[in-house]
Amino acid sequence: MSLTFAWPWALAALPLPLLAALLPRAPEQAGPALQLPFAAVFGSTLVNGPDKPAPLRLTLAALAWVLLVCAAARPQFVGEPLQLPVSGRDLMLAVDISGSMQTQDMVVGNQAVSRLTAVKSVAGDFIDRRVGDRLGLILFGDQAYLQTPLTFDRKTVRTQLDEAAIGLAGKRTAIGDAIGLAVKRLREQPQGNRVLILLTDGANTAGEVAPLKAAQLARRAGVRIYTIGVGADEVLVQGLFGRQRIANNDLDEHSLTAIADTTGGRYFRARDIKGLEQIYQLLDKIEPVDQDRQTFRPVEELYGWPLGAALLLTLLLALGRIGLFQRMVFREARHA
C-alpha cells in the first residue's frame, strides 16, 4: 500500500506565486485608476501597511494554493496487488447420480462408501485446484440438469457437488443427454479450451440423445470429453446364501471409450479411490491450469480531499474579507 501521484509533473506549479512576486511591477500611475467610496477602509482589510499582506491571510492563501496543486497532481492510494482470475479452460463436470451410484464398493479412510461419496471426495479437491478455469456442474440420471453454470466461483461448484443426492435426477442414466447439455453450455462461451469430464458407473439407459451422436456434436463444437468409469470389478450382493461377489457388468466401457476417442479425449477406469485420485491428477497434467497470472492493484483517487480543503480555505478567505469590510463600513458610517 502506498500513496503516489498520477500526474507528479503538476507539482512543478508550486513555486509559480513566488516567481510572480519576483517579477518587476508596472510603474504606478500618477492618479488612481478607479475611484471607490471607502477606499481607505477597503484597503485596510487587505494589508497591514502599504505593501504587506496580513500574515494570516497570506498563510491561508499559500496553503490553498498548495492544496490546489496537489489536487491537480491527482494523489492516489494504491493497494496491494490482487490476483485476477485468468481465462483458462471452460471445464464442465457431468456427474452420474443415478441409483447405481449408491453402491458401496469404494473405500475412503478404511470405510466403505458409495461411489458418489468417493467421487465427491476426489472431485472436490480437483475443483479447488482449477484456479483460472470456468467450472460448471451437470447432474444426470433419467434426465440431465445444469446444477451450476460456468463460473470462476469454485467454492459454489464444490458446494453444489457436495449437496448432490442419489436419485435426485432419477434412477436411470442419460449419458447422451448429459453430453448434449454440456455441449450447449460450452459452445455459448468464446472459442477456446472447452472440456467435459463425464463420470458414470453404468450404461446409457435413458434420455433422448444417443451418446455417440452427442459425442459427434461435441467434436463439431470443439469440446474434448474425458470419460471416467467408476466402480469395482466385482460387487457384493445379498443372495439366498449370504453375500456373494459378482462381476460388475453394468459399465459400458466400449461406449465410454468411443465417446472419448471421437472428441480427442481419453477414457479412464476408476476401480477404487486411489485410482480415481490418480485419474484427476493425470487430468491436471493433460489439461494444465494456465500458469500466467494477471495482477491488479486497486487505486483510490484522493484528489477530492485537497481540492475540497482548498475550496474551503478560499471560502473562508472570502467570508473574512466580506465580514471585515462590512464591519469597517458600518463603523465608518456611524462616525460620519
State mean pLDDT over 220-248: 70
294-309: pLDDT as tens digits: 566 788 899 899 999 9
Q: Which range has the worst mean pLDDT, 51-65, 105-119, 204-218, 315-329?
A: 315-329
Is pLDDT above 60 for 237? no
Tracing cell 479450451 back to the chain, one arrives at: 193
58-74: pLDDT as tens digits: 888 889 999 999 999 99
For residue 285, the number of C-alpha atoms closer than 13 Å in the C-beta half-sphere is: 6
263: cell is 472428441
Q: What is the pTM of this model?
A: 0.61
Which of 333, 335, 334 is CA-nearest to residue 38?
A: 333
Which of 88, 158, 167 is CA-nearest to residue 125?
A: 158
pLDDT of residue 223: 93
Greater pLDDT, 1 or 38: 1
Is pLDDT above 90 for 220? yes
Q: How far is CA 260 from CA 145, 206, 223, 268, in A?
A: 21, 20, 10, 9
pLDDT of residue 149: 93
State mean pLDDT over 252-275: 91
pLDDT of residue 255: 93
Mean residue pLDDT of the chain comes to: 80
The radius of gyration computed from the CA coordinates of the chain, to the nearest angstrom, equals: 39
Greater pLDDT, 92 or 29: 92
pLDDT of residue 249: 65
| 189 — pLDDT class (breaks 50, 70, 90) | confident
312-329: pLDDT as tens digits: 988 888 877 766 555 655
pLDDT of residue 247: 47
Q: What domains appear along the chain, each with residue ranges and CATH number?
A: 2-8+39-79+298-335 (no CATH), 84-288 (3.40.50.410)
Is pLDDT above 90 for 217? yes
**Residue 150 three-state SS:** strand
How many DSSP H helices and E strands does the chain contain? Answer: 10, 15
User: What does the alpha-carbon distance between residue 226 and residue 208 come to, in Å, rounded to a whole number?
Assistant: 21
Q: How far is CA 214 from CA 33, 176, 250, 274, in A?
A: 94, 6, 21, 30
Which of 161, 7, 129, 157 is CA-nearest to residue 71?
A: 7
User: What does the alpha-carbon distance between residue 15 and residue 62 come to, in Å, rounded to a whole number?
Assistant: 10
Q: Which range has the worst mean pLDDT, 44-48, 177-181, 200-204, 277-281?
A: 44-48
pLDDT of residue 37: 46
Which of 293, 291, 289 is CA-nearest to residue 89?
A: 289
Is residue 172 within 8 Å of residue 98, measured between CB atoms? yes
| 289 — pLDDT class (breaks 50, 70, 90) | low
Greater pLDDT, 261 or 23: 261
Most confident of 4-8, 24-28, 30-34: 4-8
Relative to beta strand 111-113, strand 299-301 is unpaired
